[in-house]
């Protein structure tokens, strides 16, 4: 019963259908639209828009925590701690919002307590347009009031109904605050920060003329400061999931911010180059009882500062810590497929077939290998979301981290340039850092614009799945003629692949590269693909099913790639040998032929 009350209040105005009762008053709010990657930073979690399927927006704050919305922002499905509430049929809010507008609706809500559904009646109204203060700031917002009651008198004793309020801010393009009457406080939330793309730097104005005389000495640089926006110190929570939001500033530039929970590091945000102001948003999960959250910031000059908050989580009375036992879920399969053919900088050579490689690999996963289309994210020159550094990190470190669960299989594919850059202070014995090169990379500053291979270790740690396989059709030799280049800062040298062994020390992490460290990954016009990608695609289509059991294992696939890629590259006058690094327990079934 408590779960139903929670879901009804969390949904708030998202469940509303408008009738023809409106007012001509102003102002008004038009219906917002959202793009993949949109982020809602709320006190009950950091929700990312992971998928946009037909008439659905699917926001996730991590495995087992999702909100499915229609285009009219009606809630269709809600998941919290793997408990599912569904709304059938989803209803709508009457847009545009205006003060005086009201309406009623009814529908079935299915919950673990009411598996067959409960028919309820909603009444709602837009009561005011007012200033609302939340941790993210002060906004002009529409206040919606609502009430919900069962249509059956037999249910009134068990569920007498609920009332609540919801605020929608046009400037924020989202609901910024919710209040509801319920024993479970997770119904209430506030917007703690706005996630907005970086804006263009304002033009520099020339200094004002001043009278001749000795120059004015510069004032002291602003010290390192941490302004915590959420949560307040000694705050009490009835839901373990929340978010830490803060603004960190320094005249010397902020180099790194770290968040610890009860002495354990749970979030790290490095800044390269250091920035004068950094917005920190870190999701945390509290343990029952008292918790200590610490934010530690480091400036570019080495100065550091730490602030702490003491938080308390108490499970609501009547809520059980035990969850209903369920059979183990069937393993889901997730993938991110990336192909970079054209680069923003003209001094980075274009690749003819990287996009074709990614598109074909994506198609084979979806149509022949049992991957659900909505579980496979494609980034290429041709897709709406381009393979920039920001988008690649979001796809790998957010989409996969918030989607894949422990028993799921995760596949990552990258076709594009790899490149080395001199890094004598690094951990590599050859003195070279290795990078995957996104579309917006600067070839002479890969440190701040490329995706370092060491970042894969961080990405691996963010993904809950026990089985992550990475295919890289790129190389790092810096030689001409393949999927690599060298910046003008890099001289030809002997490159080793020790970094691959370091990245795959954790169990269940495997990287398969197209070539050895000093070799070149080839693309051939006769294939219309990179050599490695061509045989990878053929292999997962069934050619690599060496024992003909209808399953292509990773081990079978690698054996097939070793043989075919080496043979074809020799025919083309090259020398290319795939490499696999990682640790697995037993045979890993990669795809089941026929999409099973």
Please say whether the beta carbons of 437 and 445 come within 8 A.
no
Listed in order, strand segments (DSSP E) in 533-582 are: 551-553, 579-582
The tally of CA atoms less than 13 A away on the side-chain side of residue 341 is 16
For range 349-371, the mean pLDDT: 94
DSSP label of 508: T
Assigned CATH topology for domain 225-313 = Immunoglobulin-like (2.60.40)
If DSSP codes are grouped into helix, strand and coil, which group holds residue 576? Answer: coil
Please say whether the beta carbons of 309 and 246 come within 8 A.
no
CA dist 240 → 35, 178, 316, 321 (Å): 28, 18, 11, 12
The tally of CA atoms less than 13 A away on the side-chain side of residue 40 is 26
Confidence of residue 1 (pLDDT cuts 50, 70, 90): very low
Would strands 579-582 and 509-513 be described as parallel, antiparallel, or unpaired?
antiparallel
Question: What pLDDT, on a 0 to 100 scale, did the predictor assign at position 114?
Answer: 67
CATH of region 333-592 = 3.40.50.1460
**What are the beta bridge partners of residue 468?**
410, 509
Lowest-confidence pick of 420-424, 453-457, 472-476, 551-555: 420-424
Lowest-confidence pick of 75-84, 209-218, 517-526: 209-218
Does residue 152 surpass a pLDDT of 90?
Answer: no
Closest CA to 313 of 238, 413, 251, 392: 238
End-to-end CA distance of the chain, in Å?
Answer: 38
The residues near 138 (Cβ < 8 Å, ≥ 6 apart) are 131, 132
Q: What is the pTM of this model?
A: 0.61
Q: Which helix (H) or strand (E) element contains residue 365? A: helix 354-368
Question: What pLDDT, on a 0 to 100 scale, did the predictor assign at position 46?
Answer: 84
Q: For the purposes of burial, counting CB atoms within 10 Å of the CB of 219, is it exposed (0-12), middle (13-18) or buried (19 or more)? A: exposed
For range 579-585, the mean pLDDT: 78
Rounded to 5°, the CA angle 235-85-125 comes to 75
For range 54-82, the mean pLDDT: 79
CA dist 484 → 416, 449, 517 (Å): 8, 16, 11
The residues near 222 (Cβ < 8 Å, ≥ 6 apart) are 249, 250, 251
Cα separation of 420 and 443, whole Å? 10
Q: List the chain domain ranges.
A: 2-194, 225-313, 333-592
For range 12-25, the mean pLDDT: 40
Question: What pLDDT, on a 0 to 100 scale, did the predictor assign at position 233?
Answer: 92
Closest CA to 193 of 170, 171, 176, 169: 176
Domain 2-194 belongs in CATH node 1.25.40: no
For range 112-138, the mean pLDDT: 84
**What are the beta bridge partners of residue 337?**
378, 413
CA dist 345 → 153, 341, 440, 476 (Å): 68, 12, 7, 19
Question: What pLDDT, on a 0 to 100 scale, did the predictor assign at position 493?
Answer: 40
What would the pLDDT profile of 426-463 be if each residue is shown by its tens digit? 666 667 888 999 999 999 899 899 999 888 888 988 99
Cα separation of 176 and 271, whole Å? 28
- Computed over every residue of the chain, the mean pLDDT equals 80
What would the pLDDT profile of 374-390 be if each residue is shown by its tens digit? 999 999 999 999 999 99
Cα separation of 296 and 69, whole Å? 36
| 481 torsion bin: left (phi>0), alpha (psi -120 to 50), beta (else) | left
Cα separation of 20 and 103, whole Å? 7
Question: What pLDDT, on a 0 to 100 scale, did the predictor assign at position 504?
Answer: 60
Comparing 2-194 with 333-592, is the CATH topology the same?
A: no
For range 85-102, the mean pLDDT: 82
The residues near 300 (Cβ < 8 Å, ≥ 6 apart) are 250, 252, 253, 254, 255, 274
Please say whether the beta carbons of 585 and 507 come within 8 A.
yes
185 phi/psi in degrees, rounded to 5: -75, -10
> What is 256-310 written as a DSSP string?
EEEEEETTEEEEEEEEEEEEEEEEEEEEEEPPSEEEEEEEEEEETTS-EEEEEEE
């Amino acid at each position: 019963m408590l779960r139903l009350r929670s879901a009804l209040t969390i949904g708030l105005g998202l469940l509303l259908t408008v009738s023809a009762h409106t007012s001509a008053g102003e102002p008004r709010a038009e219906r917002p639209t959202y793009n993949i990657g949109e982020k809602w930073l709320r006190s009950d979690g950091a929700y990312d828009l992971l998928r946009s399927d037909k008439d659905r927006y699917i926001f996730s704050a991590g495995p087992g925590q999702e909100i499915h919305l229609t285009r009219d922002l009606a809630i269709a499905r809600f998941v919290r701690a793997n408990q599912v509430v569904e709304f059938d049929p989803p209803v709508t809010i009457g847009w545009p919002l205006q003060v005086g507008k009201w309406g009623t609706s009814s529908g079935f809500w299915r919950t673990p307590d009411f598996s067959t559904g409960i028919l309820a009646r909603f009444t709602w109204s837009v009561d005011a347009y007012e200033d609302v203060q939340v941790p993210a700031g002060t906004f002009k917002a529409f206040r919606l009031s609502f009430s919900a009651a069962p249509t059956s008198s037999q249910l009134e004793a068990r569920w007498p109904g609920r009332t609540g309020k919801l605020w929608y801010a046009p400037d924020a393009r989202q609901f910024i605050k919710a209040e509801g009457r319920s024993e479970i406080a997770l119904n209430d939330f506030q917007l703690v920060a706005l996630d907005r793309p970086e804006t263009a730097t304002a033009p520099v104005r020339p200094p004002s003329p001043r009278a001749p005389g000795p120059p004015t000495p510069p004032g002291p640089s602003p010290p390192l400061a941490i302004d915590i926006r959420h949560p307040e110190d000694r705050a009490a929570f009835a839901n373990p999931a929340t978010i830490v939001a803060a603004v960190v500033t320094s005249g010397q530039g902020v180099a790194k911010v770290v968040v610890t929970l009860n002495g354990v590091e749970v979030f790290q945000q490095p800044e390269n180059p250091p920035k004068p102001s950094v917005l920190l948003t870190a999701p945390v999960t509290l343990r029952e009882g008292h918790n200590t959250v610490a934010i530690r910031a480091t400036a570019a000059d080495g100065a550091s500062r730490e602030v702490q908050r003491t938080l308390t989580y108490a499970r609501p009375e009547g809520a059980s810590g035990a969850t209903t036992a369920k059979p183990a879920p069937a393993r889901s399969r997730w993938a991110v497929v990336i192909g970079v053919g054209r680069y923003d900088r003209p001094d980075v050579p274009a690749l003819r077939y990287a996009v074709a490689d990614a598109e074909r690999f994506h198609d084979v996963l979806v149509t022949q290998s049992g991957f659900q289309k909505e579980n496979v994210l494609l980034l290429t020159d041709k897709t709406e979301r381009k393979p920039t550094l920001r988008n690649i990190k979001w796809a790998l470190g957010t989409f996969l981290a918030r989607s894949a669960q422990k028993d799921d299989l995760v596949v990552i594919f990258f076709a594009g340039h790899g490149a080395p850059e001199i890094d004598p202070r690094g951990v590599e014995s050859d003195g070279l850092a290795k990078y995957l090169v996104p579309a917006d990379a600067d070839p002479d500053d890969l440190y701040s614009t490329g995706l370092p291979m060491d970042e894969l270790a961080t990405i691996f740690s963010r993904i809950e799945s026990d089985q992550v396989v990475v295919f890289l059709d790129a190389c790092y030799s810096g030689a001409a003629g393949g999927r690599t280049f060298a910046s003008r800062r890099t001289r030809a040298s002997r490159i080793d692949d020790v970094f691959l062994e370091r990245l795959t020390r954790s169990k269940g992490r495997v990287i398969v590269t197209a070539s050895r460290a000093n070799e070149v990954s080839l693309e051939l016009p006769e294939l219309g693909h990179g050599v490695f990608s061509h045989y990878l695609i053929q292999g997962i289509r069934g050619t690599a099913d060496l024992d003909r059991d209808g399953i292509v294992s990773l081990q079978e696939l690698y054996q097939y790639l070793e043989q075919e890629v080496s043979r074809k590259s020799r025919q083309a006058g090259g020398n290319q040998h795939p490499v696999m690094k990682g640790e697995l327990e037993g045979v890993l079934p990669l795809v089941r032929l026929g999409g099973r």
